[in-house]
Structures are given as structure tokens and as C-alpha cells.
Structure 1
Amino acid sequence: MTQIEQQIERFPTPAELAPHSVDTVVARMRAHHSSWLPSDGLAVFNGVYLTVTEEIGRRIERGVFPDARSAVTLDVLFAERYLAAVDASVAGRRPPDCWRPLMQYRHHPGVSPVQFALAGINAHIGHDLALAVVDSCHALGCLPADLEADFDRVGDTLVALEERIREDLMPGPDLLEIADPLTHLLGSWSLDRARDAAWSAARLLWSLRELPELADEFRQRMDGAVGLVGRCLLTPAG
């Protein structure tokens, strides 16, 4: 199998990721939540992501998203990227490079919960979000620009969640004085910048849809680069 064929195999087609409902992906996340130990780094991220997916579902029901169909499609296809990575890891297959650091370090005692949470968000925003936008465009028969408003609303929810993560999971002030490298490490990553990069990547991938070899090469490079950032975020600090 060639490198490009391997890359195509790693990224399921939109048909394979056909959305059902937000409740479907929430139920799968809850199943993981009940089966993983709280100390598991992947469980930390899963709990965070479960919270934000439930909140997005509630906002869709309240009519915050003008086009409910496109919002559900983007939200579910986005979540499916994470769930597919988990399924691959559980089955002994290689997940995307962006998820490998979290899968490998999930039981490391020297990594703090906030590091696990941000490493998962980095993988999901930095890699999965751009692909989910492209998946959604194919599924809905639209252009990325047609999803920009939904993209921004989902991003706003994630930014609010990041603030909550830093407040709830960061060590107390006394520990932060001792663990200054951790403060510096976590302060070097920004969800806003990651979200902006994801939108640019989605537009670029869409423009490359008639050039599959270039698109696959770009996805591979993006996957590896996001994985490298994730590995840095998971540097043991204790």
C-alpha cells in the first residue's frame, strides 16, 4: 500500500461518517466516560468534550444556530473524528498522528489533567476540525463559506470551555509558583490561533479537492505538525 493510499484509508469518507444526531455521539462519549478511570488522560479530555457537545446540542435545540441541519452535521462529523481515533486505538490500529501522544501518555503520572485536556483539544481543533468542515461541505453540498457562521459559533463555545478548563484543572497558585514550567508550557498554546488555523486549513483543503495527492500530502503534514504540538503539551511536569 502506498503512502497516499494509507493516508486515504486513515481519513474515512463523508459517506462513512454520515451524521445521525448529536444524541448519538453524546451517547458514545458517555459510554467511554463510564468505562474509563477518572485518572485516565483520555477520560479527562472525553469528559471535557462531552460537556461541550452537550452544550452545543442544547444551543441547537434553542435555535442559537439559524441552520440546525448544517450545525448538527458539522457537530456530529467533528465528533466522529475523535470517536474514530478512539475506535482505532482500542482496536489496535494506528490512530492519526495528532492523537497518538494523548493515546500514549494517557496513563503517565507526571502529566497533569489540564495538559491532557489541552492536548486533546489541540488534536481535535488543529486536525479534526478542518476535516470536519470539508466532510460537512460534501455531505451538505455547500461551500466552506456557507458554514462559517456555524464554525464561529462552535468555536465560541470551545473558547468559553477552554477558559473553564484552565480555571477548573489548573493547579492552585502555590503549586504554580513551584511548577512555573507548566504555566509557561500551557500559556504557549492558544485555542483562538488553533481555530483560525483550522479554518484556513479547511478552505485550503476544499480548494485542493480536485488535487487528491496534494490534499492528502497537506493532511499528512498537518496531522504530524499537530501531533508534535500535542507531544510538547504533554511534557511531564511533575
Structure 2
Amino acid sequence: MRTTDEDVASVVGRMRRVGGRRDGLGVFNAVYVEVTRAVGRQLAANGFEDAETAAQLAVRFANRYLKAVEDDARGRQAPASWRPLLRMRAHRDIHPLQFALAGVNAHVGHDLPLAVVDTCRATGREPPALAADFDRVGEILTAVEERVREELMPGPDLLELADPLTHVVGSWSLDRARDAAWAAARLLWALRDRPDAYEECVRRLDAGVGLIGRYLLTPVGRRT
């Protein structure tokens, strides 16, 4: 299968259809559309070491998120990492920034390492061959996350009211989540020929990321 920047554009189209509802999932979806469009621009500008493999990684990454949303919509159980956001997406006392970070946490913590393994299986490459482009995708994620924090975090005049929010969102780091995702991808790749151990590791990874998601969605009261 050959993957191109056009395939990346097609998943952006699918994401835009997901984001019609103005709720917590819609907040994250808007962030992820921005990330995926930035990846597409980098592909068009030859900004990756291996554009074909990077495009495959981006599409497989996106498809895991889209499948979780589809499963939930069809009454099938989504991964544990996505359940907090999917179940609490309409909660009125959760700040938009929390929804955005909870989605990034689920996607990076659970979907990204699995997408790396999927891509390695499909291309016959080892994870180290994807390291540079993995880091490039991570840089794009970080740039968007920093902008989202600036746009959604209450200003200094609301800082006292937002103390619980500051505590919750300040306790999670995208850099640490990226590092953990890479370590998980390498571990899963090492276990690829041991199905029982591999599946147990995936289940525990999913549960752990879901636990962090539940913390990130602690209701703190909406601020205007």
C-alpha cells in the first residue's frame, strides 16, 4: 500500500465530519485537524526524512482515533484510553483545555505507539528507522499544544479562580507522553512475536493512559 499526502488530506476530511458537535470531543478534534494539516504541509514541503513512511505513520495514527470514535458511535466499546473523553464530552464543568489535553493524552499515549508498530510491520522497518520522523511529528504536536494552551487557558485576571484548572493541566506533559509513547513502541516491537505478552502490554498501556485521561477530566468548573 502506498500512502501519500492525499491520504492525509482524506483523513482530515473524515475528522471534520467528526467535529460537528460543539462538545469536548469537538474541542480535541479541532486540535487534531490542525495537527494533521500541519503534517500534510510538512509532507508537501519534503519536511520528513522518509515521506512515504511518515505519511503511513500519520494515516495509521489518525485511523486509530477515528476508529475509536466510530466504535463509540456504533455502540461498540472504544479503547479504555478514549473512554473518559467520549463519556464526559458533554460535561459542563470541564474546561475546553482539559478536553483538548485529554484527547492528546489518549492519542499520543495509546494510539501513537500502536501506529508506530503498525507502520513498522507494514514497511518492514525497525522502530529506529522511524525515530527522526517520529520526532518531527512530535515537534508539530508540541507547537500546536503550546498554542492551544495559550488560547484556552484563562488570563491572569482569572488565575485565582482557575487554580484547580492550573493544577490539573500543569500536571501533564506532552514531552513526557511522547517519550513514554516511543518507549512503549519499542517494547511492543520487541514483543511482536510473543502474542500473549504483546496483548497484555497493550491492555495495560490502554488502561494506564485511560487513568491519566480520567484525571485530566476532573471537573473544575467552566470559566468564561
Normalising by structure 2, report the TM-score: 0.95
- Residue 8 of structure 1 corresponds to which residue in structure 2? none
- Residue 9 of structure 2 corresponds to which residue in structure 1? 23
- Residue 108 of structure 2 corresponds to which residue in structure 1? 125
CA distance in 2 between counterparts of 1:30 and 1:141 reads 32
Q: Does 1:194 align with 2:177?
A: yes
Q: Does 1:177 align with 2:160?
A: yes
- Residue 96 of structure 2 corresponds to which residue in structure 1? 113
* Seq. identity, %: 58
Map 1:1-238 to 2 at 5 A: 21-33=7-19, 35-37=20-22, 40-238=23-221
CA distance in 2 between counterparts of 1:164 and 1:180 reads 20
CA contact (8 A) 1:112 1:237 kept: yes
CA distance in 2 between counterparts of 1:168 and 1:222 reads 30
The residue matched to 2:188 in structure 1 has which SS?
A: helix
CA distance in 2 between counterparts of 1:100 and 1:136 reads 25
CA contact (8 A) 1:56 1:157 kept: yes
Decide whether aligned partners of structure 1 residues 19 and 63 sit closer, same or farther in structure 2, where only a CA change above 3 A counts. Answer: closer
Residue 31 of structure 1: CA displacement?
A: 1.4
CA contact (8 A) 1:89 1:103 kept: yes
- Residue 6 of structure 1 corresponds to which residue in structure 2? none
Q: Specify the code of the residue in structure 1 equivalent to 2:9.
A: D
Runs of 4 or more consecutive aligned structure 1 residues displaced over 6 Å after TM superposition:
none
Residue 23 of structure 1: CA displacement?
A: 1.2
Choose 59-68 or 109-118, whichever is displaced more: 59-68
The residue matched to 2:92 in structure 1 has which SS?
A: coil
CA distance in 1 between counterparts of 2:116 and 2:49 reads 17
CA distance in 2 between counterparts of 1:29 and 1:23 reads 10
- Where structure 1 has 5 or more consecutive residues not aligned to the other structure, the ranges are 1-14
CA distance in 2 between counterparts of 1:163 and 1:43 reads 18
Residue 176 of structure 1: CA displacement?
A: 2.1
CA contact (8 A) 1:19 1:77 kept: no
CA distance in 2 between counterparts of 1:19 and 1:45 reads 25
Q: Specify the code of the residue in structure 1 equivalent to 2:8.
A: V
CA contact (8 A) 1:89 1:95 kept: yes
CA distance in 1 between counterparts of 2:162 and 2:51 reads 44
The residue matched to 1:118 in structure 2 has which SS?
A: helix
CA distance in 2 between counterparts of 1:66 and 1:163 reads 25
CA distance in 1 between counterparts of 2:159 and 2:207 reads 30
The residue matched to 1:97 in structure 2 has which SS?
A: coil
CA distance in 1 between counterparts of 2:120 and 2:3 reads 13
Residue 139 of structure 1: CA displacement?
A: 1.0
Normalising by structure 1, report the TM-score: 0.90
Decide whether aligned partners of structure 1 residues 115 and 211 sit closer, same or farther in structure 2, where only a CA change above 3 A counts. Answer: same
**Equivalenced residues, count:** 219
